[in-house]
Structure 1
Amino acid sequence: MHSVVPPLARTIWRPTVRGLENVPKTGPVILASNHRSFVDSVVIPCVVPRKVVFLAKSDYFEGTGVKGALQRGWFAGLGMLPVDRDDSKAALASLDTALAVLGQGEAFGIYPEGTRSRDGRLYRGRTGVAHLALTAGCPVVPVGLTGTEDIQPVGSSLPRLAKVTVEFGEPIHVTGRYDGVPAGRARREVTDEIMAAIQALSGQEPAGVYNDRAPDA
């Protein structure tokens, strides 16, 4: 699946990609991106020449029949792992899963906003991304997406052609920078630095508040 979908998607949408040299070819790395559309988790793996693991709603892996099998194959083939977002312990479990992925030297994709922006603004980042970076001691590559919201707008069931740009910023290294700094403060400062880098790439207006997940997000 991973050998077929990315080349096909690039041929159809022909995304503009900048800064790909900022993504390490090997070793653990976090790709922290803004979140505009459901398809973001397909677009990023399609342009990065190495496997990128994202978490996806467990609902996508629980379908039955032929449709359910095809859906599971699609998401698993792109390297996505299921997470139950309605479970009160899901947040902690997802962090453990992410650390396991990074511990294996892989790339992990994350949206610090928590869920997709429904009004185009960039929402405040949650500190899980900083926890991962500080715990795993790996670099964070900020990612700015533009145009993906036009591929499959909120409420639409089928994708459409749209002009998409994916820009990767310079890696943010945190190892050794926060020795002796209280953990909460370190996580907040790292997260704010990551979000500032994402905003510089995406050009979005900062919302200044957290993004609450919509029932169907």
Structure 2
Amino acid sequence: MAYWILKAVLTPVLRFFFRVRVEGLDQLSADGPAILASNHVSFCDSIFLPMVLRRRVTFVAKAEYFEDPKTAWFFRAVGQIPIKREGGSASERALASAREVLAHGGLFGIYPEGTRSPDGRLYKGHTGVARLALDSGAPVLPVAMIGTREAQPIGQVMPRLFMPITIRIGRPMRLEGEGLAGDPLVLRRFTDEVMFELRELSEQKYVERYAARKGTVEDVEPARVAHVAPVAAA
């Protein structure tokens, strides 16, 4: 209930103060499970994406947001899932929660980079998105957030008003097949393909390394990835 109340209040406010445009909304089915794999360039990514969707979307959010009273109320109210980014059993519990959302036909949002981009470039994705796609059978829709970094850069508390924000939703992608769960090469290839689609949608420069938690990393050439056939949106 709190999710829809906040959405009803925030959506007209944000649309008034920002120039929001959505492309590819028809790629998302009206029902059924789906994974929204988004680039992550600003804190407000997790606010603008749910605002433009007719369906509820659940994200994982770093556990620190739930420990800070200034942000904890918001993330609890909208039913987000805390995750400790050091990995291990905590990450597995978050993925288990994500599988439950998908098993009930819900939308699950994930940032494959694992953290906000420190410099606006697109970084190598972690394979959790591929594991979720394989375990659930749900399609993955790449989502590019464009303009949110300019509206609210890292470290800036209040966003800049009346900035243009574009949300671009790409074609659904599936990873299916028996015996693939234990093959790390398959998971890596599919994740790279998702990141390739994100690069095309966002027009970001791609860095073939994981994003550092603080600072930037050295730039190298992007990996070549195999083609994954699209699936038609229902």
Q: Is the 8 A contact 1:42 1:78 kept in 2?
A: no
Deviation of 1:61 after TM superposition, in Å, equals 2.8
Matched-pair contact (CA < 8 Å) for 1:51–1:106: yes
Q: Does 1:41 align with 2:46?
A: yes
**Is 1:21 aligned to 2:26, yes or no?**
yes
1:187 alignment partner, SS class: helix
Aligned residues between the structures: 208
Runs of 4+ with >4 A deviation: none
- In structure 2, the residue matched to 1:51 is 56
Mean Cα displacement is larger for which, 87-96 or 23-32?
A: 87-96
Match of 1:165 in 2: 166
Gapped runs of 5+ residues in structure 2?
1-5, 216-234
Q: How does 1:128-143 map to 2 (within 5 A)?
A: 128-143=128-143
Query: Which amino acid is 2:63 matched to?
Result: S
The percentage of counterpart residues that share the same residue type is 43
Query: In structure 2, how many angstroms separate the alpha carbons of the residues matched to 1:33 and 1:88?
Result: 22
* Length-normalised TM-score, structure 2: 0.82
Deviations 1:86-123 (A, max 9, x none): 57422212111111111111100001111111112110
The CA RMSD over aligned residues, in Å, is: 1.9
Tell me, in whole angstroms, the C-alpha distance in 2 between the residues paired with 1:201 and 1:49. 21
Q: Give the match's secondary structure for 1:164.
A: strand
Are the equivalent residues in 2 in contact too, given 1:152–1:159 (CA < 8 A)?
Answer: yes
* Correspondences of 1:74-113 after superposition (within 5 Å): 74-85=74-85, 88-113=88-113
Q: Deviation string for 1:96-151 (max 9, x for gaps)?
A: 11111111111000011111111121101110000000000000000111110012
C-alpha distance in 2 between matches for 1:155 and 1:95: 28
Which amino acid in the other structure matches residue 167 of structure 2?
V
Listed as ranges, the gaps of 5+ residues in structure 1 are none
The answer for the alignment partner of 1:195 in structure 2 is: 195
Quick one: distance in 2 between partners of 1:77 and 1:24?
A: 25
